[in-house]
Amino acid sequence: MSCDGQDIFDAQTTSGHAVIAGFGVPGRAVGDSLSAQNVPFVVIELNPTTIDRCSHRGVHMIEGDVRNAETLRRAGIERASFFAVTVPNDQIAMEAVRLARELNPTMHIMARFHFISNGMIAHKLGANEVVIEEQVVAQEFVRLMKKTPAPELQATA
């Protein structure tokens, strides 16, 4: 997503919206998908450069730490229907999942993790779905190897 806009977001009255934690490449992809489905969303982001660049283009950005209950409340987490935790730090993501589930027991939570073991913990903390980077990378290696001619894969002596 190039940070192109959506309608004005009012955290006090909006419900059924989505919250995205982190607006790097994965967060922007989630935002693109939500925009295509006309689902309103708000982004929680720490990087001031990203906030400045995207908030001026119509994306509602909240500066803050996703592990902070007040930050989540400013995003309307208690009335949200979907929470995407796309931050590239497993510990932060786990804390965000736990806190968000505590604040909103019914919303759908999807989170990103580097390792399978942390994804398993995240499920126990309340994530409905997890994306495990090491599994995605493994699948991509297999896909690329299927495209590579067999002679190129054989060791040379």
Residue 12 lies in a domain: no
Task: Give me the number of domains the chain comprises.
Answer: 1
CB 3: neighbour CB atoms within 10 A? 17
Do the Cβ atoms of 29 and 23 come closer than 8 Å? no
**45 lies in a domain?**
yes
pLDDT in tens, 110-144: 999 999 999 999 999 999 999 999 999 999 999 99
- Strand pairing category for 108-113 and 129-132: parallel
Q: Over the stretch 14-40, which tens digit does the pLDDT of each residue have? A: 789 999 999 999 999 999 999 999 999
- Please report whether residue 7 resides in a domain: no
Q: What is the pTM of this model?
A: 0.87
- The domain that holds 103 is classified in CATH as 3.40.50.720
Instruction: Calculate the dihedral angle through the C-alpha atoms of 63, 69, 73, 74, rounding to the nearest 10 degrees.
Output: -20
**Sign (positive or negative) of CA dihedral 141, 142, 143, 146:** positive
Specify if 154 maps to a domain: no
Residue pLDDT, tens place only, 39-58: 999 999 999 988 888 877 78
Domain of 42, in residue numbers = 18-148
Q: Is residue 9 situated within a structural domain?
A: no
- Under DSSP, is residue 132 helix (H, G, I), strand (E, B) or coil? strand
Report pLDDT for 1.
44
Q: Would you say residue 3 lies in a domain?
A: no
Flag whether 13 is in a domain: no
Going from the C-alpha of 100 to that of each of 61, 88, 108, 134, 150, the distances in angstroms are 18, 17, 10, 25, 48
